[in-house]
Copies of this chain bind each other. A is one copy, B any other.
Amino acid sequence: MAAEGETSSESLVLSGMHDHYGGVIVHINDNDPMDPATFLSLLTSSIAHWKLQGKKGVWIKLPIERVNLVEVAVKEGFWYHHAEPMYLMLVYWIPQSPHTLPSNATHRVGIGAFVLNPNTRQVLAVQEKSGVLQGTGVWKFPTGVVDEGEDICVAAVREVKEETGIDSEFVEVLAFRQSHKSFFEKSDLFFVCMMRPLSFDIQKQEHEIEAAQWIPFDEYAAQPFVQNNELLKYISDICKTKIDGQYSGFSPVLASSFYDQQASYVYLNNSSTAPKRDGGV
């Protein structure tokens, strides 16, 4: 089949966007019914066309409604790149050389919030309704998962609000941990965030939280669960040093980059010994 034209829906070539790396990105419309035979015909003519154009990588985003086309693409040499609940991203590499396609996301990101009332030296603590600590009476920091596209400093404020009803302000990242195989083969980055409370009346989330309370920091730290857990003992020691004014974490500053369309947060040690910035270029 000849490969000609690329503009109308009647053409013999799938329409796609072209990226800066010699790639073609095709979004199959979930409202556009297509039978596997038609798709196979379009796919083979499109690949021939893109090959003549010197294209390298081909990306096809198939909505889950078009699951009937997955097998056709795989049989033509496509493989899985990544998937989200509503779509599957397939890739194909035209050249004979090994592919240089970017890898998939590898990490989930979580936060733990150290919300300190500096006047009372109390920390905001919760007991969870489910999970391994259910029913143990252990007090822990509010924790949660950073959503796709969400800033760490925004996620920490959101999670504290959701779990306890407390408004808070992000201060800095005190430490972070990287762990592996936390979820199938994926890795995990967990950021311990220092927060300044802006309100004090707790309204706990009913679904996940068994109890939420301001408790003396020393009482939190003295729990056997903290003392006997190497990681939590480190974090607790850092928090204590921070309370005593002798610890500097990383605080966020907005910076734009040559590579990006918009500014993003850089987390750095902004204490007295760090470089002074005038706030922008």
Contacts and interface: CB of A to CB of B under 8 A. Distances in A.
**Nearest 7 pairs of A and B residues by beta carbon:** A83-B83, A80-B83, A175-B268, A231-B257, A237-B275, A179-B264, A105-B105
A145 B181 CA distance: 18
B234 A264 contact: no
Interface of A: 20, 64, 67-68, 70-71, 74-75, 79-89, 102-109, 132, 145-152, 174-187, 189, 225, 228-235, 237-238, 240-241, 246-250, 253, 255-260, 263-269, 271, 273-275, 277, 280-281
B280 A230 contact: yes
Given A108-B103, A189-B189, A71 B74 contact: no
B82 A83 contact: yes
Contacts of A235: 266
Contacts of A280: 230
Contacts of A187: 105, 109, 148-150
A268 B186 contact: no
B108 A106 contact: yes
Contact of A248 (B85, B233, B248): B248
Given A81-B83, A175-B267, A247-B269, A147 B231 contact: no
Contacts of A79: 64, 85-86
Nearest to A256: B230
Nearest to A68: B71
Main secondary structure of the interface of A (DSSP, over half): mixed
Stoichiometry, as copies per complex, reads 2
A148 B106 contact: yes
7 contacts: A67-B70, A82-B82, A109-B187, A230-B281, A231-B258, A238-B268, A241-B274
Contacts of A84: 80, 82, 104, 185
Nearest to A254: B230
A189 to B, nearest CB: 7
Contacts of A184: 82, 89
Contacts of A102: 108, 145, 183
A269 B281 contact: no
A264 B148 contact: no
Contact of A277 (B81, B106, B151, B234): B234
A180 B155 CA distance: 14
B238 A275 contact: yes
A126 B246 CA distance: 38
Contacts of A185: 84, 148-149
A260 B231 CA distance: 10
